[in-house]
Amino acid sequence: MADEMVFLWRSAVRLRAVPALLKFSAVAIVLVAVTTYGPLRWSGVSAHEVSGAGTAAGTDAEGRAFVDSLLKKMTLEEKIGQMSQVPLNSTPDRPVDEMIRKGQVGSFLFITNAAEINRLQHVAVEQGRLHIPLLFGFDVIHGFRTIYPVPLAMAASWDPAVAEREQRMAAKEARATGVQWTFGPMVDIARDPRWGRIMEGAGEDPYLGSRMAEAQVRGFQGAALGSPEHILACVKHFAGYGAASGGRDYEESNISDEQLWNVYLPPFHAAIEAGAGSVMSAYMDLNGVPATGNRFLLHDVLREDWKFNGMVVSDWNSVSSLTTHGFARDDQDAAVRAVNAGVDMEMTSHSFRDELAAAVRKGSVTEATIDAAVEDILMTKYRLGLFRNPYIDVAHAAEQLVTPEQREAARETATRTAVLLRNEGQLLPLSKQYKSIAVIGMLADSKADIMGSWSLAGHPEDSVTVVEGMRKRFSPGTTISYTKGVEIEREQPSIFDDQFVSPKPTMKTEAEREAEFGHAIELVRQSDVAVLVLGELQSMSGERASRSSLTLPGKQEELLEAAVATGKPVVLVLLNGRPLDITWASEHVPAILEAWYPGTEGGDAIADLLSGDANPGGKLPIAWPRSVGQIPINYGRNLTQIPEALNERYWDGTSAPLYPFGYGLSYSNFTVGNLKLAEPTVHAGSTLKVSVEVENRSSREGDEVVELYTHQRAGSASRPVRELKGFERVSLKAHEKRTVTLTLETKELGFWSPETHRWAIEPGMFDLWVGSDETAGNHGEFEMLP
């Protein structure tokens, strides 16, 4: 009993119950010790509830001492229970409360009801034998209730501060409802736009991807794990998932060591260095070994090389899927391979729960391995402050959702992520002389589709469509007319249709469709200017949403061509999560605005951009192909035979992209010149200052992104013709000229050599370019010294 009382007193101190006692001294408070190691209760309120949500934990040393003590009290079955994550978007195979009481679950996902999250947490803390809090996860990818632009759009801002704020605002909403863990950011490099999940990442470049990865981790987690109004980040999908063969989701990735180390791993490493608290293993085979059973990735790279000390969770069912891959013999073998590789927690399937205890008894897995996994999980909960305060303020949770502050941030973010691809004759911003505007396209008035995929906690009714935004901005004074023109539909159902669905077509006959098509073109004829909002349904991008072509779905291309044929000025606004085949439009449509999936405030943001209230300044985070036959067309290719003919690799057309990496226009007119390097030489491990003059030669304030590229002329291996190594987005007033100085970190010039099989910064001559995209013409050179 003495030991129990000591534990209770230590718990009171750890849970900050003593200050709470003083705080509530005017109230009759009774401390009740219930059962062995029971929870503290203050007049019906758990001591955990006394301090505010997000209370920071103690030091890691204190945490490890606490966790080590707790591990000694746990049975093997309770340890394995902590390694199990159960989804609540379907009925579990066992009663939820019973699982919690018996210590058979450590985490739940796909639950956002604040009251139910609190109730389940009370069951765990008050009725579980060891009172271990639960960890609640949800896919907070680009917003929670308020939806922000998709991550590919975030990268198009070329502004890490934009990505950091977006994820900070998303974390604030999620944490208010009890969600403590997001499965993001996704930092997979993707160079094939057929792959549906390209929308979830930062595009093709490891440097840009690394900066966006760091920013998102900071946004989600704050200064440290457990920061108020922040949540645990989970970097995914480790590693190589974005290189799926043929862009087909879940298929194998065959990546050379050189590409793995120099292209696909750097954003993961950057996220780990930024403090990411968890990592998710990937679905697919990497060079023949499934990532979830890949000890090289999860142990040798992640734990040994990078010294990662957080927790690793599998992707959905990816432990049990090791048998599907033909890698594991059965569920027990799958569990053994995954945990021995370095997976701490199994998401959704039950191979750990059902098989690990027997595997330990057989000697296939040591209990020390189990302890190490559980220590990672418990330390994560400790760092999040859950042992001090696992509860939330349910009464005020709803007040934190879709607030004016959230809407304002979402709207501004959507304007900063848009990319102006074409603007012939300065059609944009739309002149006030236009008194009638035809807005055409099914997507122009779809509240769900403007949000994009992975908007599972969002409510379509919160969204502002393009039609709504245009009417608010341009009326009165300008007539806004709208019709669909055509409808589009995904040929195969989406795996998310039961959770988040796009509007279904309503026109059932060909006669109805022809009449609507004709009505749309007549509306264009009757208007001064037409805005066609085309692209993809939100369900056409994302997981299990790969495509064999990049054409505009349905008859949208025909609608666009017919609209242009009327002779009226046409603006094309794209809503999509990948580059699409707009080669015809690039030659015939005078203005093209890439708005991506802009989120809850997308309609207002697009109206801001079309009216000139906002000036587009985004840049492409991926080279835009002319046709699917050019894929992959990433800019960072190696110099090869006949380097002067890089854009003449096909006899039947150019091999140059339609729009290069880093490209984007503005309503302003910028020049970048007068390149200066501070020194002609630089020593490895130091920095080099590079400056240029940026001038806004227009009468409109706007943003330009200054981009720095390098090329190593010779070394132990061939290096890409150009690599992004620095950038800065700057805002210039009308006619302003400014010197912009970029700091080139020589560590960014290091690479993993396939010749030496090691990472090094090699001495030698380097070329350097600075400009507005990867074709930048301002050239300099410097020598790298040891």
What the block records as the tokens of 206 is 């490891």
Residue 33 pLDDT level (bands cut at 50, 70, 90) = very low
Calculate mean pLDDT across residues 97-104: 97
Report the b/e string of 79-112 with b at 16+ CB within 10 A: bbbbbbbbbbeeeeeeebeebbebbbbbbbbbbb
Give yes or no for a contact between 667 and 677, defined as CB atoms under 8 angstroms apart.
no
Calculate mean pLDDT across residues 50-77: 80
- pLDDT of residue 325 exceeding 50, the answer is yes
Tens-place pLDDT, residues 709-758: 999 999 999 999 999 999 999 999 999 999 999 999 999 999 999 999 99
Look at strands 723-732 and 778-785 and give their pairing. unpaired
The identity of residue 270, as a single letter, is A
- pLDDT of residue 7 exceeding 80, the answer is no
What pLDDT is attached to residue 42? 24
What pLDDT is attached to residue 641? 83
Tens-place pLDDT, residues 573-618: 999 999 999 999 999 999 999 999 999 999 999 999 999 999 999 9
Tens-place pLDDT, residues 611-665: 999 999 999 999 999 999 999 999 999 988 887 777 888 989 999 999 999 999 9
Query: Would you give the end-to-end CA distance of the chain in angstroms?
Result: 66
From the list 249, 315, 604, 703, the catalytic residue is: 315
- Rounded (5°) CA angle 638-644-649: 75
The identity of residue 585, as a single letter, is A
- 187 exposure class (CB count in 10 Å sphere: 0-12, 13-18, 19+): buried
DSSP-derived letter for residue 643 is G
- Rounded to two decimals, the pTM is 0.93
Report helix, strand or coil for 462: helix
**Percent of the chain residues topping a pLDDT of 70:** 93
Query: Dihedrals φ, ψ of 675, to 5°?
Result: -70, 135
Calculate mean pLDDT across residues 39-58: 38
What the block records as the tokens of 428 is 């944009």
d(CA 117, CA 526): 55
d(CA 417, CA 162): 9
Query: Dihedrals φ, ψ of 336, to 5°?
Result: -60, -50
Sheet containing 135-138: order of strands: 181-182, 135-138, 107-109, 84-87, 346-347
Calculate mean pLDDT across residues 544-568: 98
What pLDDT is attached to residue 639? 84
Give yes or no for a contact between 579 and 550, defined as CB atoms under 8 angstroms apart.
yes
Calculate mean pLDDT across residues 402-429: 98
What pLDDT is attached to residue 645? 79
- pLDDT of residue 29 exceeding 60, the answer is no
Tens-place pLDDT, residues 745-768: 999 999 999 999 999 999 999 999
Give yes or no for a contact between 544 and 249, defined as CB atoms under 8 angstroms apart.
yes
d(CA 181, CA 623): 33
Calculate mean pLDDT across residues 46-72: 70
- Indicate if 315 belongs to the active site: yes
What pLDDT is attached to residue 648? 85
Mean pLDDT value across the chain: 92
Tens-place pLDDT, residues 278-316: 999 999 999 999 999 999 999 999 999 999 999 999 999
- pLDDT of residue 48 exceeding 90, the answer is no
- pLDDT of residue 548 exceeding 60, the answer is yes
- pLDDT of residue 3 exceeding 90, the answer is no
Tens-place pLDDT, residues 417-468: 999 999 999 999 999 999 999 999 999 999 999 999 999 999 999 999 999 9
What pLDDT is attached to residue 643? 78
Distances (CA, A) of 556 to 269, 442, 486, 503: 41, 10, 7, 17
What pLDDT is attached to residue 56? 58
What pLDDT is attached to residue 332? 98
- pLDDT of residue 18 exceeding 70, the answer is no
Residue 41 pLDDT level (bands cut at 50, 70, 90) = very low
The beta strands (E) that lie in 11-138 are given as 41-42, 45-46, 84-87, 107-109, 135-138
- pLDDT of residue 495 exceeding 60, the answer is yes
